[in-house]
Amino acid sequence: MKYFVKKYFQISLVYRLLFAFVLGGILGILGFKFLSIEHLNTALSIARPFGVILTALLKMMVVPIIFFSLIVGASTLPLKKSGKLGASVMIWYFTTSMFATIFGIIMAFVLNPNLERNVSDVAGADVIEVANKMVENQSQDKISEFLSSMFVNPFQALSTNNFLAIVVFSVIFGLAARVLLDKEDTSDQLRSSLESTINLFSGISNVFFKMIEWIMEYFPIGVLALTFQCFAENGPKLMGTYIGIAGCVIFCVMAMVFFVYPLAILVVCRENPYKVMNRIKTPIITAFVTRSSAATLPVSMQTAENIGIEKNFYSFSLPLGATINMDGVCVHLPVFAILAANMYGMQLTFGQLIVLLISVVFASIGAGGVPGGSLLLLFMVLENMGLSTAQSAPIVALALGINPILDMFETACNVAGDNVCTYIVAKKNDMI
């Protein structure tokens, strides 16, 4: 037994994850096809807790890692340099989001996702009812609501997992500490206290990374359970009516991960892009399974550490990306927007496409890095297109039905974008 355990841990974590994913998928499909509903529910009830544990463990680490890492990152970089690096990171994130949105719009027109059948037949009346309720509960003033959510009591933000507010507060706190440390008239006592505080936060951050190393060994078990659950519950959604919609989104996401990001690395860094992509595959696979950019953040940061990127940079760049950089969402939303236009016979003008582009890019910032976070943003995008509540609900119903599958791909794209951006900026600034 000890021999097999030893051999198991000698296998690369990535290969263990891939094996767990494939095995979970096969078991899920077999379970859906051959097990009775009663027996399938029993199997799911056994498997589900193992997946819940993995997701819970990762979420347990997310908030403190974002909080402490961003403070340390913002406070340890010299202001002039951090300003330059921060601008570079923001430009890269914004550029990739814009490109992903444009790419999604173009491919949506090329692949032309449409449904010949009645939307209620496809989505199901029960799902449409859920969607209608979700629409009714949406605030009308999206922009004000979004802006106000950025600036809240930090303790409230920490307790409610308001990632964007945590990022804003942590960056401001870290920058303020840096300003005080750099001021010539800062007293020695205050300077010493600030340095001690930053060192304490840095030490706490290192403790969390050690905890992540332990948690990662549990990944294959959690991945097996999550994958089994996903395929056992949603396997048929991959076939039939949904295949066109899913195919469009998945194609765009795969193109971003396997062509666009590698091309950016090749052009900017002048090195073999697929060697770089191979080095960041672990967080991409983790994101695919967990469906959460935020939950994958600890894995991304551990990978950056292994690559050799300076900690004071990746501790700033990656948490920021996990919160605001949602390239997968930027691909996903235009596909459903064009689908809506097709279904309701809307002829989108160039001006409407520009509005769609802007809406998607800025809406993606509010995705939150959590599973299914993009779904609620679809309301905002459809409303900006001029669709009524009654028209929006069936589209959201369709998204609800297929979202568990699409969310896996788009989250992998989000995390790939975060890691590629961090690598490129670090490489260009000699921080590797």
Sequence-ordered list of residues with C-beta below 8 angstroms from that of 82, at least 6 positions apart, any chain: 74, 175, 178, 316
pLDDT at position 373: 52
CA–CA distances in Å: residue 417 to residues 60, 238, 339: 23, 25, 25
For the chain, the C-alpha Rg in angstroms (whole number) is 22
**Percent of the chain clearing pLDDT 90 (strictly above):** 14
> Which residues are within 8 A (CB) of 55 and not within 5 positions of it... i.e. 6 or more apart?
222, 226, 290, 292, 295
Long-range interactions of 31-37: CB distance < 8 A, separation 24+: 31/228, 31/232, 32/231, 32/232, 32/233, 32/235, 32/236, 33/235
| Cβ atoms within 10 Å, residue 310 | 18
How is residue 170 written in tokens? 């942590």
Is residue 405 scored above 70 in pLDDT? Answer: yes
For residue 172, what are the CA distances in angstroms to 165, 352, 382? 11, 36, 34
Amino acid in position 301: M
Q: Residue 329's pLDDT is what? A: 83
Question: At 123, which helix (H) or strand (E)?
Answer: helix 119-123
pTM listed for this prediction: 0.64
Residue range of the domain that includes 300: 2-428
Confidence of residue 307 (pLDDT cuts 50, 70, 90): very high
Q: What is the CATH number of the domain that holds 283?
A: 1.10.3860.10
Q: Is the pLDDT of residue 116 over 50?
A: no
Planar angle of CA 407, 382, 261, nearest 5 degrees: 40
Say whether pLDDT at 395 is over 60: yes
- Count of the separate structural domains present in the chain: 1
Compute the average pLDDT of residues 251-261.
Answer: 91
Select the more confidently predicted residue: 172 or 236: 172
- Give the pLDDT confidence of 11-44 residue by residue, as tens digits: 877 678 778 878 988 898 888 888 888 888 899 9
Residue 205 in tokens: 């951050």
Please say whether the beta carbons of 359 and 384 come within 8 A.
yes
Confidence class of residue 415 from pLDDT cuts 50, 70 and 90? very high
**For range 286-290, the mean pLDDT:** 84
Residues 110-137 have a mean pLDDT of 48
Confidence (pLDDT) at 378: 72
- Residue-by-residue DSSP string for 386-417: T--HHHHHHHHHHHHHHHHHHHHHHHHHHHHH
On the question of pLDDT at 252 being above 70, the answer is yes
* The Cα angle at residue 332 between residues 301 and 384, in degrees rounded to 5: 120
Give the whole-number percent of the chain exceeding pLDDT 70: 76
* pLDDT value, residue 130: 42
